[in-house]
Amino acid sequence: MKKTTFLIVGKHAVLEALKNPSRRIERVLLTEDAQKKLNRENQSLNLFKSINVFYKSRKELDNLCGRSETAHQGLVAEVEQLDELTLKEFVLKNKKNNLNLIALEGVTDPRNIGSIIRSAVAFGIDGLIVKERSFPYKSKLLYKSASGGTEHIKIFKVSNLNTSLKYLKTKNFWVSAFDISAKKDFTDNNWKGKNVLLFGSEGFGIKAKTLENSDFKFKVKMNENIDSLNISNTVSVVCHHIFQSKNKN
């Protein structure tokens, strides 16, 4: 049965989708100016083979995408959702001794989620766990902010985050919550092994019930003049540190 399709926009999001053999592309819409720019960069010659390509004016793409939502850069693709492994399938199939997953609770802004995905890919995170009912998987803003990162990371949409955390703990994962009430700085921890990095929303943090399923609580130490970072910046700082510590040896 054919899957429903949706639009993604922006140069990096569309080009990475075209490079992904697992992503089915229904059609590509672009302006002549965008095509000329891609030709100068030698980025379209092979990618557009066997793909339905349609040339549109910038105004037509504005109307299609919603002028106020996000800049399309003259490049739009209609795509199908990727086939997905369940979280349990991934854990049972993966034999790596060191695994790092990010879990998000209450983070719903597509720009923040997209930026988190971008950082997660940049710093070698193995997967992202999100609540199915609140994950904006068709958001053009998410794909644009992720800058092609959605093609390079497993995203596990779960119905109940606490159930998933309990399951992961039975499979030798340590759950580390990043919470404003924490006393210990996260850089003091040894991040070897299997870890779930748990982050909550900027406004409400992590729910008390979810915190009960964490093994550790950490904070990101910062200058006392600032109380907190944007959630995507916090995730980026944490992921970069773990990436650096893994690659020191």
In terms of domains, do 65 and 97 share one? Answer: no
In terms of domains, do 237 and 121 share one? Answer: yes
Domain-terminating residue out of 16, 45, 80 = 80
Structural domain containing residue 148: 87-246
In terms of domains, do 91 and 209 share one? Answer: yes
Rounded-to-integer distance, Cα 176 and Cα 168, Å? 12
In terms of domains, do 240 and 123 share one? Answer: yes
In terms of domains, do 61 and 10 share one? Answer: yes
Provide the domain count of the chain. Answer: 2
State CA 1 to chain mean position distance: 27
Q: In the prediction, which pLDDT does 2 show?
A: 62
Return the CATH number at 43: 3.30.1330.30
In terms of domains, do 52 and 33 share one? Answer: yes
The long-range contacts involving 173-177, CB below 8 angstroms and separated by at least 24 positions, are: 173/99, 173/101, 174/215, 174/216, 175/103, 175/213, 175/214, 175/215, 175/216, 176/214, 176/215, 176/216, 176/217, 176/218, 177/206, 177/210, 177/211, 177/214, 177/216, 177/217, 177/218
Domain-terminating residue out of 80, 104, 119 = 80
Q: In the prediction, which pLDDT does 181 show?
A: 84
If you ran DSSP here, which 8-state letter would residue 134 be given? G
In terms of domains, do 128 and 176 share one? Answer: yes
In terms of domains, do 61 and 126 share one? Answer: no
pLDDT in tens, the chain (249 residues): 567 899 999 999 999 999 999 999 999 999 999 888 888 877 665 777 788 999 999 999 989 887 645 689 999 999 999 988 999 999 999 988 899 999 999 999 999 999 999 999 999 999 999 999 989 999 999 999 999 999 999 999 999 999 999 999 999 999 999 988 889 999 999 999 999 999 998 778 899 999 999 999 999 998 888 877 899 999 999 999 999 988 775
In terms of domains, do 110 and 139 share one? Answer: yes
In terms of domains, do 101 and 223 share one? Answer: yes
Domain-terminating residue out of 29, 47, 80 = 80
Rounded-to-integer distance, Cα 76 and Cα 13, Å? 9
If you ran DSSP here, which 8-state letter would residue 32 be given? H
Q: Where do the DSSP E strands lie in 10-153?
A: 25-30, 53-55, 75-80, 99-105, 127-131
In terms of domains, do 145 and 207 share one? Answer: yes
Q: Which residues of 122-143 are buried (b: 16+ CB within 10 A; e: fewer)?
A: ebebbbbbbbeeebebebbbbb
Return the CATH number at 209: 3.40.1280.10
- For residue 71, give both structure tokens: 């800049």
Rounded-to-integer distance, Cα 218 and Cα 189, Å? 9
Q: In the prediction, which pLDDT does 84 show?
A: 87
In terms of domains, do 100 and 161 share one? Answer: yes
Q: In the prediction, which pLDDT does 202 show?
A: 77
